């Protein structure tokens, strides 16, 4: 009789342990997926900003970077719906760089939960 109780308790413990691992593992995977999505969104915006600046330089203009992300929409570099979707997972801030800014200058910052992602003018998101 006691051995049956012990076996049942061991089974309940194993099932509880497996359930806890699945729960916490799932949360970790979801958080990693959200981080990848945010980084991808920042890279998309980075490319749009750089394309905007390249076109302004070709036209011989100074002050080549957009004043805001909405200007990218107004100039048809991204769609309004895309901007709304890109900024839905995190609070995204844009910092307009000067024309002579170094490529490591942070132009975008996304804040989601307790994580901050910084996107330079050129290079990978950190």
Tens digit of each residue's pLDDT (9 = 90 or more) over 77-104: 999 998 898 888 899 999 999 999 999 9
Q: How confident is the model at residue 1, as a pLDDT?
A: 63
Give the number of other CB atoms < 10 A from CB of residue 2. 6
DSSP letter, residue 77? S
Q: How confident is the model at residue 18, as a pLDDT?
A: 85
Whether residue 33 has pLDDT greater than 70: yes
- Residue 120 CA to residue 57 CA, distance in Å, equals 19
Band of pLDDT at residue 36, cut at 50, 70 and 90: very high
Tell me whether strands 91-94 and 106-112 are parallel, antiparallel or unpaired.
antiparallel
Closest CA to 52 of 99, 102, 103: 99
3-state class of 81 per DSSP? helix
| Mean pLDDT, residues 37-64 taken together | 93
Whether residue 112 has pLDDT greater than 80: yes
Q: How many CA atoms lie within 13 A of 125 on its CB side?
A: 21
Is the distance from CB of 52 to CB of 72 less than 8 angstroms?
Answer: yes
- H-state helical runs in 59-111: 69-74, 80-86
- Residue 38 CA to residue 44 CA, distance in Å, equals 10
Q: How confident is the model at residue 24, as a pLDDT?
A: 77
Band of pLDDT at residue 70, cut at 50, 70 and 90: very high
Burial of 95 (0-12, 13-18, 19+ CB in 10 A): middle
- The residues that bridge with 117 in the sheet, in sequence order, are 110
Whether residue 71 has pLDDT greater than 70: yes
Average model confidence (pLDDT) for the chain?
90
């Amino acid at each position: 009789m006691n051995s049956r109780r012990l076996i049942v308790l061991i089974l309940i413990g194993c099932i509880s342990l497996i359930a806890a691992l699945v729960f916490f593992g799932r949360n970790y995977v979801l958080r990693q997926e959200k981080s990848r999505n945010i980084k991808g969104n920042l890279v998309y915006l980075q490319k749009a900003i750089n394309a905007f600046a390249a076109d302004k330089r070709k036209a011989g203009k100074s002050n080549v970077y957009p004043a805001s992300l909405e200007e990218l929409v107004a100039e048809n570099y991204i769609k309004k719906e895309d901007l709304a979707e890109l900024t839905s997972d995190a609070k995204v801030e844009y910092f307009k760089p000067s024309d002579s800014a170094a490529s490591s200058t942070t132009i975008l910052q996304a804040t989601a939960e307790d994580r901050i992602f910084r996107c330079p003018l050129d290079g990978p998101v950190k």
